[in-house]
């Protein structure tokens, strides 16, 4: 009986695994509480979070640069969050991430119609302007950068954080 149960559970898991991985690895649903989930998951490690959107023109300039940055600097904690509330944007979001080489990064997409509450959880002063980058230090200190970021400076920030670790 126990063996049957185990086999059943494994079969179920395997059958849902591709769907789970697709949902989890490519584009996760950013909902109430997701910000704390991200912060906890990366706690103690320097992290860059980039908020962008499919209708945002400067984001289209920045994302390919971010894609290159991620390729050139493997192992850094980089997270993207699509913060543009356009209905059914999932395909557009995935297409943009694919084009910019960011598909294997940790990617999230706003998935709650009450965007004010999502933004408030991240930063009560944030009005929704994108692109927006948050650098979260090992000690949790947040540095917010508006607009297209200078990735050379971001790299220096990561290096400084790593040096502190040593």
| Binding residues for other proteins (CB under 8 A) | 2-3, 5-6, 9-10, 12-13, 16-17, 19-20, 22-24, 27-29, 31, 53-59, 61, 85-88, 90, 92, 95, 109-117, 119-120, 124-132, 146-148
Nearest approach, Cβ of residue 85 and other proteins (Å): 7
Nearest approach, Cβ of residue 104 and other proteins (Å): 17
User: Of the two residues 62 and 161, which places its CB atom closer to other proteins in the complex?
Assistant: 62
Q: Which residues contact 60 (CB under 8 A, 6 or more apart)?
A: 96
User: Of the two residues 73 and 111, which places its CB atom closer to other proteins in the complex?
Assistant: 111
Contact 158, 43 (CB under 8 A): no
Contact 109, 29 (CB under 8 A): yes
Q: What gap in Å lies between CA 25 and CA 62, rounded to an integer? A: 22
User: Of the two residues 103 and 148, which places its CB atom closer to other proteins in the complex?
Assistant: 148
Task: Give the distance, in angstroms, between the CA of residue 154 and the centroid of all CA atoms in the same chain.
Answer: 16
Beta bridge partners of 52: 82
User: Of the two residues 143 and 147, which places its CB atom closer to other proteins in the complex?
Assistant: 147
How many CB atoms are located within 10 Å of the residue 145 CB? 17
Nearest approach, Cβ of residue 61 and other proteins (Å): 8
User: Of the two residues 127 and 163, which places its CB atom closer to other proteins in the complex?
Assistant: 127
If we measure between CA atoms, which residue out of 2, 60, 6 comes closest to residue 50? 60
Nearest approach, Cβ of residue 36 and other proteins (Å): 14
Is beta strand 77-82 parallel, antiparallel or unpaired with respect to 47-52?
parallel
């Amino acid at each position: 009986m126990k063996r049957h149960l185990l086999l059943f559970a494994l079969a179920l898991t395997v059958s849902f695994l591709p769907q789970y991985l697709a949902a989890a690895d490519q584009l996760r649903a950013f909902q109430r509480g997701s910000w704390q989930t991200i912060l906890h998951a990366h706690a103690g490690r320097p992290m860059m979070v980039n908020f962008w959107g499919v209708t945002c023109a400067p984001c289209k300039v920045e994302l390919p640069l971010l894609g290159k940055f991620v390729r050139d600097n493997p192992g850094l904690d980089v997270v993207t969050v699509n913060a543009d509330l356009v209905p059914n944007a999932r395909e557009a979001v995935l297409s943009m991430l694919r084009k910019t080489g960011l598909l294997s990064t940790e990617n999230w997409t706003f998935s709650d119609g009450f965007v004010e509450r999502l933004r408030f959880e991240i930063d009560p002063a944030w009005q929704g302007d994108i692109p927006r980058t948050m650098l979260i230090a090992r000690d949790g200190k947040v540095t917010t950068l508006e607009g297209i970021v200078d990735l050379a400076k971001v790299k220096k920030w990561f290096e400084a954080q790593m040096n502190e670790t040593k």
